[in-house]
Structure 1
Amino acid sequence: MTGLWIALGIVALALLIGAVRRITDGRARTARKSSQRVDAAELGIELAPHGTFVQFSTSICAPCRATARLLSQITEENPAVAHVEIDAEHRMDLVERFGVLRTPTVLLVDAKGAVRYRFTGPSRRAELVDALARLED
């Protein structure tokens, strides 16, 4: 009987973790450290005037490819916005500096390089566009 309760507890915990991730994945969160900055020269890019999406990806991450397509669509619709993809496997210095724990992680950076919003997990178009609009205000 004890084994059954343990199994039920594990299943309940797994369901709870899954529900929390489903709710939080792809949501815009205000960057915790307002002092975090992206150095455009270090990345070899120019920051766009209305914001730059900095995406951390890995080669085996399927949601990363979908997120990259979504961000490309958004930047095509708005030429004042840029998208740069960083291979997290080869830029561990940036992964550590920005506290990337999973991919995809997307940072929305303003024209001065300050990280304003952070998205973890598969991104949602509405969340990305809304954060971009708030950034431009």
Structure 2
Amino acid sequence: MTTAREIMTPGAECVRSDQTAADAARLMAEHSVGALPIAGDDNKIKGVVTDRDLVIKVMGQGRDAGTFPAGDLNQNEAVTVGADDSVDEVLATMSQHQVKRLPVIDQDRLVGMVAMADVARALPDPQVGDLEKALSVD
């Protein structure tokens, strides 16, 4: 059984909930990523902010990215997968929550991120097609 730990990109960076949307954008550019987990004061994952979130929820609304709190970009609940969860569980979580990237946690500690591309490399073609169909917006 292939696990999330085996296919993830290790060492993900976080933006803190008390940082700004501009800080999140800078971190994304610095690390060449399109999403960052948002960590609270307790170091637990509170959500994920994507480059699309920054465009739609901050810039598109005319808000100042330099003062808009990154923590306000949290989803209602943080969707994560466990490091020892199977790739099938990762696939099911992505499909159920309509997300393309997931923080991977071991206990309460962030250990990496798994993206749709990571899953695509680990799964046979038919399953990848099913995931892509499940995540496509009509």
State the TM-score bracket (shorter-chain normalisation).
under 0.3
Bigger RCO (CA 8 Å, 6+ sep): 1
Q: TM-score, normalised by structure 1?
A: 0.22
Flag the structure with larger Rg: 1
